[in-house]
């Protein structure tokens, strides 16, 4: 059941009408449903009930403190890729012992802070990173729990920018060299191999690539066992897709069974790092139609949200549904929904059949993942406000940026300190 629903032709998030919300808080506005986040997380938890597991929500998908707070209260762990994300998790009340640290280029400072915070595991992506982590751990008089992120050379059949498990990609350690690197890791003081990890990509709509990846990793776990290296967990990353345009998404139970099936003979905790599938459908972006610009060739609806607020359509040609919050009663025409930014790539949607009037509020659906998280200040546009709806209650979880914040930290030449 979606927590976005219509009542008397008006779109609601839980108990709150979105037209009233836009009137009160302005647009562009990100709106999240607490119930939807909880529902998605609970679906993972239920599907994993019979297997020892840790769900580490991928913070990069939506790192608002309130979103992290909702998930931390449910007992979630977190997958982080920067110290900024770690500090967010801690600020939101997340448990560092349930944090895994991914990312191809962790700095010494990142390592030091994460060690000191006592995270669960470093997902190491190269030999050079392993060497550096060993040095930093020894300097800190601590032991770094690690898994190696293995690149299984599996085709996730997704957009090339978000496929990460092919040997052409910068991610992970080639599966052929993983065994010898584990042997080296096991012998390094300051390093304790506890797991194995992979993440093959995002917005994946078939189970087969996951099955292929888990088969590769399980084979490696067996070889490691023969070498006397016993691991405690297997981390299969995130990547499960969502339906943006009516795509068929694997049922969560089928996805989880495909992962846990091959693990039955092994005593391994299953770690997952879902991002999109937890938050995408829990968010919408509200935007106001400022002007209608019909031309002889094309009809443009100019809205107040732009590529700086929601980058996915511009960057990946991603399709997200755009619906009116209330029916305007105008005649339906085919519109390109475009923003104020000075780039031809600045569109939220193309060729959409909609009945529009200026002043209408539109909702871009499926905007809870990689929406605000990828927003920028391009064209000196303050980033939108974010609200989290919980039943009838609206929490303002990020104030709209003021113009002054755009140049905070900058100075003119005459005002600069030398």
Rounded to a whole number of angstroms, the minimum distance from the CB of residue 193 to ligand LLP is 18
Between 14 and 79, CB nearer to ligand LLP: 79
Choose the binding region for ligand LLP from 111-119, 207-215, 236-244, 333-341 (rule: CB under 6 A): 236-244
Choose the binding region for ligand LLP from 198-206, 296-304, 331-339, 360-368 (rule: CB under 6 A): 198-206
Choose the binding region for ligand LLP from 31-39, 112-120, 129-137, 267-275 (rule: CB under 6 A): 267-275
Rounded to a whole number of angstroms, the minimum distance from the CB of residue 239 to ligand LLP is 4
Residue from 13, 105, 198, 342 carrying the catalytic annotation: 342
* 3-class DSSP assignment, residue 102: coil
Q: Is 3 in the site for ligand LLP (CB under 6 A)?
A: no
Contacts of 285 (CB under 8 A, 6+ apart): 28, 29, 30, 31, 305, 309, 310, 363, 364, 367, 371, 384
Please state, in angstroms and rounded to a whole number, the distance separating the CA atoms of residues 12 and 128.
51
342 is catalytic: yes
Q: Residue 394's Cα: distance from chain center in Å?
A: 23
Q: Are 14 and 392 in contact (CB under 8 A)?
A: yes
Rounded to a whole number of angstroms, the minimum distance from the CB of residue 160 to ligand LLP is 12
Choose the binding region for ligand LLP from 235-243, 286-294, 378-386, 396-404 (rule: CB under 6 A): 235-243
Per CB under 6 A, which of residues 99..128 are in contact with ligand LLP? 102
Rounded to a whole number of angstroms, the minimum distance from the CB of residue 278 to ligand LLP is 8
Residue 49 CB-density burial (10 A; 0-12 exposed, 13-18 middle, 19+ buried): exposed
Token pair 């060729």 in the structure block, residue: 351
CA 173 → CA 151, 241, 300, 387, 414, distances in Å?
Answer: 5, 24, 47, 40, 50
Q: Is 233 in the site for ligand LLP (CB under 6 A)?
A: no
Q: Are 346 and 339 in contact (CB under 8 A)?
A: yes
Q: Is 79 in the site for ligand LLP (CB under 6 A)?
A: yes
Q: Is 77 in the site for ligand LLP (CB under 6 A)?
A: no
Q: What is the enclosing helix (H) or strand (E) of 347?
A: strand 347-355
List active site positions: 342
The contact set with ligand LLP (CB under 6 A) reads 58, 61, 79, 102, 162, 199, 202-203, 237-240, 273-277, 312, 316, 370
């Amino acid at each position: 059941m979606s927590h976005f629903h219509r009542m008397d032709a008006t779109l609601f998030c839980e108990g709150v009408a979105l037209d009233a919300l836009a009137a009160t808080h302005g647009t562009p506005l990100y709106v999240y449903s607490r119930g939807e986040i909880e529902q998605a997380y609970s679906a993972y938890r239920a599907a994993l009930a019979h297997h020892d597991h840790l769900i580490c929500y991928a913070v990069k998908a939506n790192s608002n403190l309130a979103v992290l707070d909702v998930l931390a209260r449910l007992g979630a762990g977190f997958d982080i890729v920067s110290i900024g994300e770690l500090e967010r998790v801690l600020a939101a009340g997340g448990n560092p012992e349930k944090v895994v640290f991914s990312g191809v280029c962790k700095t010494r400072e990142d390592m030091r802070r994460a060690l000191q915070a006592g995270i669960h595991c470093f997902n190491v992506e190269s030999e050079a990173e392993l060497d550096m982590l060993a040095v930093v751990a020894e300097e800190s008089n601590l032991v770094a729990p690690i898994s190696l992120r293995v690149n299984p050379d599996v085709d996730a059949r997704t957009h090339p920018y978000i496929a990460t498990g092919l040997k052409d990609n910068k991610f992970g350690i080639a599966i052929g060299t993983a065994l010898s690197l584990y042997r080296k890791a096991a012998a390094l003081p300051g390093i304790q191999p506890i797991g194995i990890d992979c993440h093959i990509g995002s917005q994946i709509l078939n189970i087969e690539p996951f099955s292929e990846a888990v088969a590769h990793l399980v084979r490696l776990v067996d070889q490691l066992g023969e070498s006397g290296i016993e691991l405690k967990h297997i981390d299969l990353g995130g990547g499960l897709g969502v339906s943006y345009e009516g795509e068929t998404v694997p049922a969560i139970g089928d996805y989880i069974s495909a992962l846990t099936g091959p693990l039955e003979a092994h005593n391994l905790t299953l770690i997952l790092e879902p991002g999109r599938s937890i938050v995408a459908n829990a968010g919408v972006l509200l935007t106001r139609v400022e002007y209608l610009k019909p031309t002889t060739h094309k009809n443009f609806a100019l809205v107040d949200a732009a590529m700086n607020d929601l980058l996915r359509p511009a960057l990946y040609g991603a399709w997200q549904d755009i619906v009116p919050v209330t029916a305007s009663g105008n005649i339906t025409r085919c519109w390109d929904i475009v923003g104020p930014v000075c780039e031809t790539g600045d569109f939220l949607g193309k060729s959409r059949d909609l009945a529009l009037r200026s002043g209408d509020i539109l909702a871009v659906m499926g905007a809870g993942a990689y929406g605000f998280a990828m927003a920028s200040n391009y064209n000196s546009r303050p980033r939108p406000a974010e609200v989290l709806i919980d039943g009838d209650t609206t929490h303002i979880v990020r104030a709209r940026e003021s113009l002054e914040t755009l140049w905070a930290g900058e100075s003119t030449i005459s005002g600069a300190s030398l």
